Structure 1
């Protein structure tokens, strides 16, 4: 009886404990799943916003917009209306319109429709006032005419005279909300906790947490959200932006579950937060039930085993002998298995050594390939460098002859001046030859702090003759000289020389060839942009640009950009082809900024 009571108690404890443990594990899995879903929704929303944020910037720079704001001729306004209409249809923006410096709409993409914004005054809207004051603004609100919610992106238009007006782009998220509605409930809230974009239409302009009457009155007075009731979401707990995934109770359309794992993640600079509600009821209940059934079954089996062991305790010595024999046999099998594992482990160590040797050989071949590319590049620029040296050598010969004549005439002053010129010319030759020797030297030095301007100066020195031969103008923009990055100078020079050579070849036949070097700082990174005004890179060529042996040159091997990308990657950076807003190609070298 005592054994049965203890067995029953242990079975109950094991069943209940296993259910709780399974519930905790499933909750952790659901939390990770919910967080991943929130991150995915945020990425989709960021992509949608990024697609439209460039529109106000581009239109604010459009000379047609500024000239129409200054000269309100009917022909200009009609042309601008048609341009905005075409741009709205092509980009999917809900509406694009232009306001003058008084807030009056002079042109809009919906100029043909009965709900046209042309002639309407929006000087009272915050997105206009903030753009006029700060240059750029964003506001999520209901449209005063369409009564449809959307994000208003505005940017101030400046010209030579001053502020000409404001360009506004309205973006609606109806398509995105329909995509979200196919899965779990998801919505976006602003910093005040107001639900803006949601897969559940009834939740629009609901609140993450209850608001005070004063705050509600202030929001209604702003007319930003129309006559919204600002009711709380139908959840038992208030959601907090940026918090860890947590279980909440509530109801959602088309969802049988009343318990959800709520997760959130920030969208970015807009201050918005994406929330997702992952149903937990079926998964949690199934896991707990299965764990309890398994624990109960195992407890019953263990109880039977224990009972059998108690019964077998009184068996005879023959049973004991058979058990001893079985134990010895088992030990033999374990020893055999251990020997097999030892042999397998030895074989694995041998394979690891072979792999390490293979990796070392691959690294050696890669270093040799980088050096070969460097020497091939050096051979291409050798003729130009020889011309750079021949000029000062000829000048040295002339100055030496002149100095001899002056000495014969007992004129030490002019002779000393000629000797000084010879000294400066030899220094120039020394700079060029030192740069060549350093460039050709094979190095595997680790990245360290260095001046970006040193690598740029070295590359331009090596490419100087070829640049002048082709009449290429070099523009250096931004703080190129004093920026310090983590790299190795001469390998970075190799990358720059490769990019400059490609740019010079692309500029052949261009009327006014120009190469621009510009530095952009971004969150601890230094981006060096190398651009030209040539024909640019076609879409087909861009797809194979960094594939080994893929080239459009008759004598090219297709390895220059591949090797350059690997060199920059060894610095912890990245070499990419950037989209160009104007004719030509733009390559970006992204490096870590040195402290």
Structure 2
């Protein structure tokens, strides 16, 4: 049945593949045609979008130009009327009448200094008819104008000739750019000198900072005098003629500052927009290439041209984004049409192949059902085997814990024998004394000897009881355990070993200690393991001290066992709880004590960690969860 289904399916697949090859050839033709349409449409959309976004950039540039022009005109007009007023002030007139009088010079200097501070001007100074500066607001500064001759400046000659002068230039003394206003000082029709007021233009530049535009101010020769970009100052937007060079040298407009050509290429778009393409890498402190759309306005009164340079990169990026979106939309539409056509073709092929697939599927379902039944049977056997392994593993773990306890008892057998021999010897001595005293009829002393015999018997019984409890196999049920009793039992069990090595054990238990969730016998085993390990650590040390503390912390009880041994080296600290890992010599243990301790504490939902000891050696911290105060768990 399966063979017939496969043969039928192969025939149907061959027919479908032939149909797909025909569709693929037609698809390639439509793909090439679609790419041509997308390329042509994208070019048209990009050209139109570029025009639109450049027009928007030009509108923003015109708005910025209006604001900048208005602000600059207002700033200049604010100071333009001040020089004629200053020329009529009495300190200036007095100095003009007697320019060599020291008292009048001093009075004029102080007057100009005070007025400069009030008006917010950069400098104000008075020149005689020869252009020699007689008084200045900066008379007491290192670069004072006093003594300088500025007759070569147009603001001086224009003020003398026409009654008012203005000029923008780089100061030859202060080395600061400024705009100068000049007004004549007269006594009737007699010219006595010129008052000049200089304003700082750098504050104007500070207001021109923009994210995507620059503002420049050029003189009639195309030299950039003001610019929001410091790299363009004193740059020339066009070559300087010999006549312009002579004029600059005569007026010393830019002092001795070198001028340089700004590497730009100008072009005009079909909409009449002027574009500058500037190679920024040729300018000091700049890099890259920039294209700017220009919006300019003439300022005839100041003889300036203010230009806003709008960066075209955002506009071109917007145009490119819009074009990409349009092309993507066209591509998506084309893809949707292609997908619809392809889905229809695939649906036809699918209907043809479904009949053959049904035949093949029925045959394969029967085969898979048999295979799944076999796999299910194998999985069931594996699950049973794993459960048996888990039971054996748990039994082996319990046996390992019991073996470790018996090994610990074996190690302490010699010390325990010595511990029991002492009470037995004392019993014999007290018994002999009691017989002797009884024959002498000394009843009181005989009673004392008998009481001591009873004490020795109780002591031997207590040791045997602790060992019996410690050696028996514990249950797994957890309950509320008194930590104080567990510590006392552990002291008695580990006491012989501690006395054998001569160790001093200090126990510090906080009063009212909470009960913990644990098993009493297994908790005793944990404490005995930690105490015997501490005894082994201090056995060969001059100072043999062990400290056991118990404290309540939050909802837990924290036990710490510390010793004055050599401690645990950092390179083996991470392996200290691994099974069969031991730092002791051969024959001194299997390396299971701390591993078993770790697993017991884990069964208690607690934690054990190696911590720095306060006695100079190792320290082990056991954290057990507090339990409600109830009857002690029986194990």
Normalising to structure 2: TM-score of the pair? 0.44
Normalising to structure 1: TM-score of the pair? 0.47
